[in-house]
Amino acid sequence: MTAAKLFTPARFGALELANRVVMAPLTRNRARKEDDVPGPLAARYYAQRASAGLIITEASQIMPEGKGYAWTPGIYSPAQIEGWKKVTEAVHAEGGRIVIQLWHVGRISHTLLQPNGQAPVAPSAIAAESRTFTGEGFTATSTPRALELEEIPGIVEAYAQAARNAIEAGFDGVEIHGANGYLIDQFLRDGSNHRTDAYGGSLENRCRFLFEVVEAVTAAIGADRTGLRLSPMSPANGIHDSDAMALFTHAIKGLNRFGLAYLHMVEGATQGSRETPNGTEMADLRALFEGPYIANNGYTREMAIEAVEDGRADAVAFGRPFIANPDLVARLKADAALAEGDRATYYGGAAEGYTDYPTMAETAPA
């Protein structure tokens, strides 16, 4: 069934995809230890996967305070921009398209990973029930301090500057990381946002930070190069809300005015079940969005073909399958077997389990 729409081109804003199989953002913790610069191996890794219709890079911190795990890359310093340039050049040389995921972790961090060992920042001083990787093992996340009202515009501007940096580095666009319990998600949810100013309380107020970031990034580089990822029903990183359906109904309706290149949603629990709580339907949220929609989470080949065929999704993002199958698109097209990734090398390390997975042709006996 290679004629499936999944394998046909698409245009999302200014992004031209050769097919609708998207590489989901995958944290791999291989940036240079001293300065969070992505190295030559990252260029090779992404170039190997350039047959994806669109690559969304691993989440990359927009500023030092936005970091929450050891060895994740940044997109705020000149050296990081230079490192990413080599990545985008390598992907473009293979005919691929690539956007960078812009990330601020908020409270999902540890003092060991923060400038001067300071506390991470968040909407409110409420610790997440979550863990992070500091480079010396997994540790409970640190209790954050609440952002002062006056600090918020600087963080919004850091997203816009990171987006400009991304364009300078040769990216085709950016994806704002609004999912998985990180800073934007922390502002959205009443479990983590107890603010009493303009950024807390009502749905309008809790969505304010998200909308300001989207406004700033789209003004900086164009809405047609800006995507957004959300995970409305995911409990990732200890996030929760008293009424996620109402929250994301408000958020998605409000997003329509920006004309984003796409909305990318984790359907169900991140890296987990596609089931959502009783009374909630991802399909109802998806239906509210008026632009291109990238679906994600646990899709098989058959599910992806069907979802794109019947219009429930315009593209499908695959995460873990792209780790061990650099030529995932060709394998899905051919209905070939998929290789299994080695979990021991998902996070951190060097080439092993990163750039040494063979294509089908390289695997086939001579």
E-strand stretches of the chain: 10-12, 15-17, 21-23, 54-61, 98-103, 121-122, 131-133, 138-140, 145-146, 173-177, 226-230, 262-266, 293-296, 315-318
Task: Supply the minimum distance, in Å, between the C-beta of residue 361 and ligand 8OZ.
Answer: 30
Q: Does 270 bind ligand 8OZ (CB under 6 A)?
A: yes
Closer residue to ligand 8OZ (CB): 40 or 272 = 272
Q: Is 36 left (phi over 0), alpha (psi -120 to 50) or beta?
A: left
Task: Supply the minimum distance, in Å, between the C-beta of residue 69 and ligand 8OZ.
Answer: 5
Closer residue to ligand 8OZ (CB): 90 or 236 = 236
| Interface with ligand 8OZ (CB under 6 A), residue from 21, 24, 52, 59 | 59
DSSP strand pairing (10-12 vs 15-17)? antiparallel
Sign of CA dihedral 362, 308, 94, 81: negative
Site for ligand 8OZ in 134-193 (CB under 6 A): 179-180
Task: Supply the minimum distance, in Å, between the C-beta of residue 60 and ligand 8OZ.
Answer: 9
At 91, the amino acid letter reads V
| Interface with ligand 8OZ (CB under 6 A), residue from 12, 69, 354, 357 | 69
Instruction: State the Cα–Cα distance between residues 149 and 1, nearest whole angstrom.
Output: 54
Site for ligand 8OZ in 83-142 (CB under 6 A): none
Give yes or no for a contact between 98 and 42, defined as CB atoms under 8 angstroms apart: no
Backbone φ and ψ for 230, nearest 5 degrees, come out as -130, 155
Closer residue to ligand 8OZ (CB): 153 or 272 = 272
Please identify every residue annotated as catalytic.
182
Instruction: State the Cα–Cα distance between residues 334 and 152, nearest whole angstrom.
Output: 49
Instruction: State the Cα–Cα distance between residues 31 and 45, nearest whole angstrom.
Output: 12
Give yes or no for a contact between 130 and 181, defined as CB atoms under 8 angstroms apart: yes
Q: Does 7 bind ligand 8OZ (CB under 6 A)?
A: no
For residue 102, the SS3 value is strand
Closer residue to ligand 8OZ (CB): 193 or 270 = 270
Closer residue to ligand 8OZ (CB): 32 or 131 = 131
Task: Supply the minimum distance, in Å, between the C-beta of residue 362 and ligand 8OZ.
Answer: 28
| Interface with ligand 8OZ (CB under 6 A), residue from 27, 109, 192, 226 | 27
DSSP strand pairing (98-103 vs 54-61)? parallel
Task: Supply the minimum distance, in Å, between the C-beta of residue 229 and ligand 8OZ.
Answer: 8
CA-based nearest residue to 126, from 239, 40, 41, 225: 239
Show the binding pattern over residues 232-261: x = contacts ligand 8OZ (CB under 6 A), - = does not. Answer: ----x-------------------------
Closer residue to ligand 8OZ (CB): 200 or 321 = 321
Q: Does 318 bind ligand 8OZ (CB under 6 A)?
A: no
C-alpha separations of 251 from 17, 274, 311 in Å: 26, 21, 22
Task: Supply the minimum distance, in Å, between the C-beta of residue 286 and ligand 8OZ.
Answer: 19
**Residues that bind ligand 8OZ in the complex, under the rule CB under 6 A:** 27, 59, 69, 179-180, 236, 270
